A and B are shown apart, each in its own frame.
Chain A
Amino acid sequence: MFALLDPASMSETPSGAARARYWRKNLSWLGGLLSVWFIVSYGCGILFVDQLDKIRIPGTGFKLGFWFAQQGSIYVFLVLIAIYVLAMNRLDRELLGEEGDDA
């Protein structure tokens, strides 16, 4: 994944094209993560909650829609932020090289 960066240019400022790529990738990560965010909270927790409530999580008293609304969505949110942190750290390294620290 670091093939994007020519080793010789590691210490130099990234080009305008590299910056444009960085921003595009940033936006597509945001788009993907926020789609999941919307589906889980507004989709599972509000819009389709009654349909999901017809299903029960096996071995528990939870109806699936109720569980998503009061538990599941929060767990998913946490995972989304974790993925975002890792993805952005990687994007920063792609742009700036290994020691790319964003002061």
Chain B
Amino acid sequence: MHSLLSNNVYLAAMDPVQKWTLGIAVLTFAFYIGIAIWAKAKSTGEFYIAGKGVPSVANGMATAADWMSAASFIGMAGIISFAGRDGARYLMGWTGGYVLLALLLAPYLRRFGKFTVPDFIGDRYYSNIARLVAVVCAIFVSFTYVCGQMQGVGIVFARFLKVDAEAGVLIGMGLVFFYAVMGGMKGITYTQVAQYCVLIFAFTVPAIFIAIQMTGNPIPQLGFGGEYKDSGMYLLDRLDGLSTELGFGNYTEGQKGTFDMFCITAALMLGTAGLPHVIVRFYTVKKVKAARTSAFWALLFIAILYTVAPAVAVFARSNLLDTVSNKPYAEMPSWFKNWEETDLIVFDDKNGDGIIQYTGRTDKNAAELPDLEMNELTVNRDIMVLANPEIAKLPNWVVGLVAAGGLAAALSTAAGLLLVISTAVAHDLVKKTIKPDLSEKKELLLARIAAGGAVVVAGYFGMNPPDYVAAVVAFAFGLAASSFFPAIILGIFWKRANLPGVVTGMVVGLLFTAGYIVYFKFLNKAAGEDEWWLGISPEGIGTFGMIINFVLAIGISLATKPPPPEVQHLVDRVRFPRKAFVDEENE
């Protein structure tokens, strides 16, 4: 509809928040494109792994941006603010998985020293079948994940620039296409460094402002344990009080079963460790030592956002309850009306008194499914981070900054994923299995075409998303946990693991997990929690898929022939520094 107006009319019709958002978004986009042009990839080595020339601090930052997706930036704090203490499954799951990655995977895979995860699986299990299974898993996991990113881009555009979510997804696709297709890993790495700076600034600045407003302490991590505005009452106690008063249950207490929490957290952890787009980041540094160091830097940079997020969740929840609960609808501020236009806030005045009754009363599961009879307000969890600065009445430029941060988070992750998909197709599928005599120039071209194709498919799913942003991503973790994680761990730590065992494990683990998720999320949406197997939610089933994978892989390996001697030698080379073999190489 805006396209009918000339640009000037459109600009004049924009409110200050939109102008700031547009300004900051255009500025950051131009910056990313500039970096992409500067870092254009010339060889497949540069395209896949940035020529192994990335310093470890920069790689740590890029890893952090790659890994902190739209789900971390836009979705996570919102989920926590509705789930309370239970939200810790995302905090611990996603950071704890990093410990596994840094200790059990990254250094060894770096020492192996090829391009991709399917490369490792293919060589370690001496088979193109294993490689193919790994390629399919990599593509499947990455696609699931990338759709969530595109959806996040759509939400930001829809709300802040008042364009259709579809148009937003198209703009995001165009941008990612440009720098992922042209720059490859090298371009992506350096744009991700810039995107990390944008997203961490955008996430922490409003949190600091709000922490000062609400608690007088500028450090959000400490502030949310402090007192609320000299009231003599701790912020958390006050929020507990407000929540129980409205029938939502104590914020600082768990609502989910301990076993389900355990399974979901484990699935997220093991999935993080098995995500191919994160693992491949450790191939880009010069040395194994640097791979370890950059894992440390990455978690440090990630931890900044992850320790601020629970504070943001508490601030946002308190502010939301204070602003909307039992207040007249007519007096709602402009952000409320703006989000209503996108249907992400819905008010239904059931008793016709013009007052907003926001309550979780008479329903055990208040945070997830507010009672339909009494509650009049539905707030989409994904908007909490984006709406937070406006709810706290922060200046317009801060609001614009948050929008740009959300875009940076989504785009940086999408780019990393697209690269995995294009590498999987061009390198693992075509070069290594179908047509080994492919020239490097053709392989590079093919990788670019594959990245382009992947952008289009991801865009389609971004416009027709299956579920919440964070939930979609959670599935990708479950799938990664049940397929890659056991195959890589066994490949490094157990020489006896062989082809039939590991391939069966990967295939069955993935099918089991995907089947469970598809059944409960798509085929039988009506099925309630009591129908879940052993009370495990679809988000947590990856943990079981992983156990099945391990059991099958170990059992079948023991029942069949051990892998050939050259594979055992390969495992040694992954375990020890290369210099430990100088002599034996000549034997």
Query: Which residues of A come within 8 Å of B, CB atoms?
Result: 12-14, 19, 22-23, 26, 30, 33-34, 37, 41-42, 45-47, 49-50, 53, 57, 60-63, 65-67, 69-71, 73-75, 77-78, 80-82, 84-85, 88-89, 92, 95-96, 100-103
Is B226 positioned at the interface, with any CB of A under 8 Å from its CB? yes
Query: Which residues of B come within 8 Å of A, CB atoms?
Result: 80, 85, 87-88, 91-92, 95-96, 98-100, 102-104, 107, 111, 221-222, 224-227, 234-237, 252-254, 258, 261-262, 265-266, 269, 287-289, 292-293, 295-296, 299-300, 303, 306-307, 310, 572, 575-584
Q: Kindly state the separation between the CA atoms of A74 and B572 in the bound complex, as whole angstroms.
A: 33
Q: Kindly state the separation between the CA atoms of A47 and B289 in the bound complex, as whole angstroms.
A: 35
With A41-B96, A69-B88, A85-B296: A60-B103 Cβ-Cβ less than 8 Å: no
Q: Is the interface of A mostly helix, strand, loop or mixed?
A: helix
**Extra 11 A-B pairs, beta carbons < 8 Å, given A37-B100, A77-B95:** A19-B580, A22-B576, A30-B103, A34-B100, A53-B253, A73-B88, A73-B92, A77-B299, A80-B99, A95-B577, A103-B288
Q: Is the CB of B226 within 8 A of A84?
A: no
**Which one of B221, B254, B306 lies within 8 Å of A50 (CB-CB)?**
B254
B426 → chain A, closest Cβ, in Å?
27
Q: Is the CB of A81 within 8 A of B236?
A: no
Q: Is the CB of B299 within 8 A of A62?
A: no
**Which one of A34, A42, A96 lies within 8 Å of B265 (CB-CB)?**
A42
Q: Is the CB of A37 within 8 A of B258?
A: no
Q: Kindly state the separation between the CA atoms of A71 and B576 in the bound complex, as whole angstroms.
A: 35
Q: Kindly state the separation between the CA atoms of A64 and B99 in the bound complex, as whole angstroms.
A: 22
Q: Kindly state the separation between the CA atoms of A68 and B258 in the bound complex, as whole angstroms.
A: 15
Q: Kindly state the separation between the CA atoms of A22 and B576 in the bound complex, as whole angstroms.
A: 8
Collect the chain B residues with CB atoms within 8 Å of residue A13's CB.
Answer: 579-584
Q: Kindly state the separation between the CA atoms of A14 and B576 in the bound complex, as whole angstroms.
A: 11
Q: Is the CB of A84 within 8 A of B234?
A: no
A46 → chain B, closest Cβ, in Å?
5
Q: Is the CB of A70 within 8 A of B88?
A: yes
Collect the chain B residues with CB atoms within 8 Å of residue A81's CB.
Answer: 98-99, 102-103, 295-296, 299
Q: Kindly state the separation between the CA atoms of A50 and B253 in the bound complex, as whole angstroms.
A: 8
Q: Is the CB of B579 within 8 A of A37?
A: no
With A42-B265, A53-B252: A61-B237 Cβ-Cβ less than 8 Å: yes
Q: Is the CB of A45 within 8 A of B292?
A: no
Nearest A residue (CB) for B582: A13
**Which one of B225, B293, B303, B578 lies within 8 Å of A78 (CB-CB)?**
B303
A64 → chain B, closest Cβ, in Å?
11
Q: Is the CB of B575 within 8 A of A49?
A: no
30 pairs of residues in contact across A and B, judged by CB atoms under 8 Å? A12-B583, A14-B580, A19-B580, A26-B575, A33-B99, A34-B99, A34-B103, A37-B96, A41-B92, A42-B262, A45-B88, A45-B92, A46-B88, A46-B92, A53-B253, A60-B234, A61-B237, A63-B252, A66-B85, A70-B85, A77-B98, A77-B303, A78-B303, A84-B292, A88-B107, A92-B289, A95-B576, A100-B577, A102-B111, A102-B579
